[in-house]
Amino acid sequence: SQQGEEDPQALSIQEGENATMNCSYKTSINNLQWYRQNSGRGLVHLILIRSNEREKHSGRLRVTLDTSKKSSSLLITASRAADTASYFCFRAGNNRKLIWGLGTSLAVNP
Amino acid sequence: NAGVTQTPKFRVLKTGQSMTLLCAQDMNHEYMYWYRQDPGMGLRLIHYSVGEGTTAKGEVPDGYNVSRLKKQNFLLGLESAAPSQTSVYFCASSSSGGGNTGELFFGEGSRLTVL
């Protein structure tokens, strides 16, 4: 398997706090994407960041990409109970490989 | 706005039975994918298609077959189901693929249990 690494595997925070999850990879990428999966549902696309971008924002989401360290982070600010889900990173490599991380399970407690 | 629709949502099979999962997308996407998701294993690609009439093997193709006779449909078949194929299956589609894969649109999943 060429699945990359995400950390932490699980994260539990209080409502209103920020949540940060990380994704590391090994091969060069064209873009990196973050997805959310609520329990029992399909995955939903959150944000795509290209290899020539360093930071991207979407609402309360902030994604950074450091290609020198081969890592990305997803920050969710002012978390809500509805943010409870699993979050996955997905890499489209320039070797045409499509790689999913194992996910971070986020629990936001009211 | 349907997006990606999978049928059936749930199915219980006995070992050795066959079945077909249907995936339909209404976004005119060229690329379609079948994944399975198992606890602790993440998403694993079974088969994919880069356009009508084409299919290709992914990471874990053994025991599965696929067909893409129409651009909007991607079928996943199990000819002789085994307990190891108990999983949640997801179909996805995208307008671009390979190294430039863009946003993937997922169905809600099909939960298959093989007894």
- The mean-pLDDT minimum among A1-10, A13-22, A101-110, B103-112 falls in A1-10
Q: Are B107 and B90 in contact (CB under 8 A)?
A: yes
Q: What is the DSSP letter of B20?
A: E
Locate A14 and state its tokens.
């209080």
Using pLDDT thresholds of 50, 70 and 90, give the confidence band for residue A4: low
Nearest-Cα residue of chain B relative to residue A1? B59
Q: Is the pLDDT of residue A52 over 60?
A: yes
Whether the ω angle into residue B83 lies within 30 degrees of 0, i.e. cis, is no
Q: What is the DSSP letter of B63?
A: T
User: Among candidates B100, B91, B90, which has minimal Cα distance to B25?
Assistant: B91
- Digit-coded pLDDT (tens) for A25-37: 988 888 999 999 9
Give pLDDT, residue A93: 74
Spatial distance between the Cα atoms of A23 and B72, rounded to a whole number of angstroms: 33
Q: Is the pLDDT of residue A100 over 80?
A: yes
Average pLDDT of every residue of chain A: 92
User: Among candidates A65, A64, A105, which has minimal Cα distance to A88?
Assistant: A105
User: Among candidates B4, B6, B15, B32, which has minimal Cα distance to B111?
Assistant: B6
Average pLDDT of every residue of chain B: 95
CA distance B46 to chain A (A): 12
Asked if A40 lies within 8 A of B109 by C-beta distance, the reply is yes
Give pLDDT, residue A1: 39
Q: Are B13 and B27 in contact (CB under 8 A)?
A: no
% of chain A at pLDDT higher than 90 = 77
Give pLDDT, residue A10: 94
User: Among candidates A65, A39, A73, which has minimal Cα distance to B37?
Assistant: A39
Regarding predicted confidence, which is higher, B100 or B80? Answer: B80
Using pLDDT thresholds of 50, 70 and 90, give the confidence band for residue A2: very low
Asked if A45 lies within 8 A of B104 by C-beta distance, the reply is yes
* 3-state secondary structure at position B84: helix
Collect all residues of chain A within an 8 Å Cβ-Cβ radius of residue B109: 40-42
Q: Which of A30, A32, A38, A98 to mutate to test the interface with B (most CBs of B within 10 A)?
A: A98
Q: Are B102 and B53 in contact (CB under 8 A)?
A: no
Q: Looking at residues B38-53, what average pLDDT do you find?
A: 92
Q: Is the pLDDT of residue A57 over 90?
A: yes
Q: Looking at residues B97-104, what average pLDDT do you find?
A: 86
- Digit-coded pLDDT (tens) for B20-29: 999 999 999 9
Q: Are B35 and B23 in contact (CB under 8 A)?
A: no
- Provide DSSP, A9-66: SEEEEETTS-EEEEEE-SS-EEEEEEEEE-TTS-EEEEEEEETT-SEEEETTEEEEEE
Q: Looking at residues A9-19, what average pLDDT do you find?
A: 97
Nearest-Cα residue of chain A relative to residue B101? A92
**Could you tell me which residues come within 8 angstroms of residue B39 by beta carbon, excluding any fewer than 6 positions away?**
none
